[in-house]
Amino acid sequence: MTAYILRRLLLAIPTLFGVLVVTFLLLYVAPGDPVQEMVGERADSATIARLRKELRLDEPMLSQFTHYAGGILRGDLGTSYITRRPILSDVLERFPKTLLLAGTAMLFASITGILIGVLSAQRPDGWFDRLALGGAYLGISFPVYWVGLLLILLFAVTLHWLPPSGYGGFRHLILPALALGTRSVAFLARITRSAMLDVLNSDFVRTARAKGLSERAVVLKHGLRNALIPVITVLGLDFGYYLTGSILTETIFSWPGLGRYVVNAISRRDLPAIQGSVLFLSVIFVLVNLLTDLAYAKADKRVSL
């Protein structure tokens, strides 16, 4: 197991280095002048020159990259141009809120999607199966921002059951978690149904039924357990997406997570904040993929550790 983890971590190094280079180049490919954005249009040339020297923007590109990479290796993601706070502090302050939203959405999606998939596979082509497949196609087709606005209109504006946005108690978490997890419910239902149909038609399941096992035991112990192998991969990929791609959801519901922090940094042209956030999210995504591979190897003994 240790050797497997080390191999996966070594394979992640080139990916993270590529992200490091790309995030650094954001400073040069992004239109406009970040110093001009900081000081405004009426600043004098002396102030602009002083800030350029302070931010090392007057140095050659290789020197800037060396300083940037050295700071990353020391755990320093830089300082925000706008707030003048360490970016790592801002990221660590907001990431738990994103993790809470992603975890809740994943819990909702996994329970609902797997349950629908199992029930559909038990009676294929029945009325529930047809209804579930139709709902799955719709769920995959609807964009998250449209689902979010629809949920706000229904449960907050019309019914007044839940708050439309903001961060607070559990009631504030329900709508963004539903909006974020809807697509995964549809996708997991389809994947689970397909995997369950393959397993339930296999020889060892027919043998279990011939031995007189109850249908519940056959479905849960023999069917679902073996059908979860492809589902684990989908869960891992979706959870990584939730942690790194919930920007629209956090913006729609004014959720103070890392996604909204990135949106604010982009709108204010805070390039160090964008660089640090993207690099942090890339590391998180790599770690989630590693955990997914470990879970997959644990579930499928044929995978060599």
Residue numbers of the domain that contains 14: 2-73
Residues 132 and 39 placed together within one structural domain of the fold: no
- Phi (first) and psi of residue 114, to 5 degrees: -65, -40
- CA 124 to the chain's CA centroid: 32
> Do 269 and 37 contact (CB within 8 A), yes or no?
yes
Packing angle, helices 87-122 and 225-245, rounded to 10: 150
pTM score > 0.85 for this model?
no
Residues 41 and 144 placed together within one structural domain of the fold: no
Residue 292 lies in a domain: yes
Helix (H, G, I), strand (E, B) or coil at 61: helix
The pLDDT, as a whole number, for residue 111 is: 92
Residues 51 and 107 placed together within one structural domain of the fold: no
The pLDDT, as a whole number, for residue 269 is: 78
Domain end position, chosen among 73, 95, 128: 73
176 Cβ partners below 8 Å, 6+ apart? 101, 105, 148, 249, 250, 252, 253, 255
Residues 177 and 274 placed together within one structural domain of the fold: yes
Helix (H, G, I), strand (E, B) or coil at 155: helix
Distance between CA atoms of residues 47 and 43, nearest Å = 7
The CATH number covering residue 145 comes to 1.10.3720.10
Residue 82 lies in a domain: no
- CA 289 to the chain's CA centroid: 11
Tokens of 143: 């964009």
pLDDT tens track for 242-301: 887 688 899 899 899 888 888 888 877 788 888 888 888 888 888 888 887 777 766 665
- Phi (first) and psi of residue 161, to 5 degrees: -90, -35
Residue 305 lies in a domain: no
Burial class (CB in 10 A: 0-12, 13-18, 19+), 262: buried
In the predicted model, residues of the chain with pLDDT beneath 70 are: 1, 4, 27-28, 30-34, 36-43, 245, 297-305
The pLDDT, as a whole number, for residue 302 is: 55
Place of tokens 């909702």: 108
> Do 30 and 269 contact (CB within 8 A), yes or no?
yes
Residues 98 and 50 placed together within one structural domain of the fold: no
Q: How many domains is the chain built from?
A: 2
Residue 34 lies in a domain: yes
pLDDT tens track for 217-234: 777 777 777 777 788 888
Residue 189 lies in a domain: yes
Residue 171 CB neighbour total at 10 angstroms: 11
